[in-house]
Amino acid sequence: MPSLVSQSKSALKGQIKVPGDKSVSHRSLMLSALAVGESRISGLLEGEDVLATADAMRAMGAKIEKLECGDWVVNGVGVGSLLQPDDIIDMGNSGTSCRLLMGLMASHDITVTVTGDASLRGRPMKRVITPLSEVGAEFTARDEIYLPITIKGTDTPMPIDYTTPMASAQVKSAVMLAGLNTPGITTVREKISTRDHTERMLTAMGAKVTTTEENGYYVIRLEGQPELKPISLEVPGDISSSAFLLVAASIIPGSDILIENVGLNPLRTGVVDALKAMGADITVENPRELGGEPVGDLRVRYAQLKAVTELPVDPSTMIDEFPVVFCAAAVAEGTSRFMGLEELRVKESDRLSAMAEGLKANGVELKEFDDGIEIIGNAGKVPGGAQVKTFLDHRIAMSFAILGQMAEAPITVDDAAPIQTSFPTFVELLTGLGAGMTV
């Protein structure tokens, strides 16, 4: 396991681009593989998670290639034409690949065994098994809810009307992707609206998708069996990866950076509003649209952060950014409280306990609750000096690499390898801006 040692060298200065958005990258491969004709994608995130999706789509018949110029070309098989893979499919660490692709498999007459790494094998899959069984797929799962799972798709899928029991774009998207090869209207109802990249991309490719508000629910309807047009897409930079830079530049005195071309889908930008509520100096420059998604450049300058107890946004709009926001709270003035975060316990790791353990080990006082955390800010540097466990979770690794920049003694991350799943250029980009990190 390659460890990472983090301690501040200097203020962060410069102008950079982060890799492509992970959610958009996954969907661009999955949906262009179902189009009729050739799609071209630039700025695709080439992290392990997205490469797992590419391999899985290839195993089911799509032709996916990277050109020398760095763009990706996908020759789709058409909706309903996925082929029976001849081996098990390993999704690695990627929950998005696993859950969304099970949606696609559910409405095809194929039988597939899916597995993943130790982290993914510990994550709950009942949330997709339940609706996809209503569609007509059959599942055999370890202990009924865990990978490895064998899914037997159906050739007579039923259009379902499903209300998601938790705020999850993965569950919503799994049901919608099953609905693609299902005659009639598939409906998903959400109490809290989650990232809508699937809806936006399907619309751009010619599918009929509507979103309405009915009786306090967001209702998404998809007309099944569309012919999807190929796309030419530039993937915007990942706001979730940018979050590490937003926090780093906000907490390291003297910093001033510009992150170019960041996806600013309003269902993803909660971290910007949360940090601003803590006093961060973040401005959006040059707002524009790219491939059906809002984008802009983010300018971040150092500011002394203060605690926050009520977030101005719904947790779903910043669900992956909490670990690094906890690090911001650890150096802020005052006591922060973040609640309603039960979903953090079922991410790549139990992020509430992983963060609590690493923060405590580095001298941060806190209280952990079933669905949240209270963090006593140090109004400046934290003591640091300890090694943290990353539990195969990229965002835990990167969060503590950022906190190390504001620690009296270096913080060591036990395993930097998971960073490759979503942000392969993390260390290079940060050290290029002035951070002190060695792997």
Q: Which stretch binds ligand S3P (CB under 6 A): 129-137, 155-163, 168-176, 305-313?
A: 168-176
Write down the residue that tokens 């806190």 correspond to.
366
**Nearest distance from C-beta of residue 167 to ligand S3P, angstroms:** 7
Burial class (CB within 10 angstroms; exposed 0-12, middle 13-18, buried 19+) of 166: middle
Alpha carbon separation from 214 to 185, 190, 217, 220, 384 (Å, rounded): 16, 10, 5, 10, 49
The rounded distance, in Å, linking the Cα atoms of 187 and 431 is: 46
CB of 280 to ligand S3P, least distance (A): 22
What is the sign, positive or negative, of the torsion defined by CA atoms of 417, 418, 424, 428? Answer: negative
Amino acid in position 45: L
**Stretch in the footprint of ligand S3P (CB under 6 A) among 4-12, 164-172, 299-307, 409-417:** 164-172
Query: Measuring CA to CA, which residue among 68, 31, 23 is closest to residue 50?
Result: 23
Which residues, other chains included, contact 167 with Cβ-Cβ below 8 Å and sequence gap of 6+? 190, 191, 192, 194, 314, 315, 316, 319, 343
320 near ligand S3P, rule: CB under 6 A:
yes
Among residues 320, 350, 371, 415, the one annotated as catalytic is 320
Instruction: Using CA atoms of 339, 343, 345, 347 in order, give the dihedral in degrees to the nearest 10.
Output: -130
Size of the chain in residues: 439
Distance between CA atoms of residues 351 and 369, nearest Å? 12
Spatial distance between the Cα atoms of 318 and 273, rounded to a whole number of angstroms: 9
Q: Per rule CB under 6 A, is residue 23 in the interface with ligand S3P? A: yes
**Nearest CB to ligand S3P, comparing residues 188 and 433:** 188
Q: How far is the CB of 272 from ligand S3P (least distance, A)?
A: 17
168 lines the binding site for ligand S3P (CB under 6 A): yes
Q: Give least dist CB 194 to ligand S3P, A.
A: 6
Piece in contact with ligand S3P (CB under 6 A), picked from 167-175, 304-312, 331-339, 357-365: 167-175
Annotated catalytic residue 87:
no
* Residue 297 or 320 having the CB closest to ligand S3P: 320
Nearer to ligand S3P, 343 or 368 (CB): 343
Query: Rule CB under 6 A: is residue 96 a binding residue for ligand S3P?
Result: yes
Q: Look at residues 403, 401, 394 and name the one whose alpha carbon lies nearest to residue 366.
A: 403
Q: Select from 173, 362, 412, 420 the one that contacts ligand S3P (CB under 6 A).
A: 173
**Least distance in angstroms from the C-beta of 29 to ligand S3P:** 12
The contact pattern for ligand S3P, residues 263-302, with x = CB under 6 A and - = no contact, is ----------------------------------------
By the rule CB under 6 A, 170 interacts with ligand S3P? yes
Residue 319 binds ligand S3P, judged by CB under 6 A: yes
Q: Does 234 bind ligand S3P (CB under 6 A)?
A: no
What's the gap between Cα 164 and its chain centre? Answer: 18
Q: Which residues bind ligand S3P (CB under 6 A)?
A: 23, 96, 168-170, 173, 195, 319-320, 343
Catalogue the active-site residues.
Answer: 320
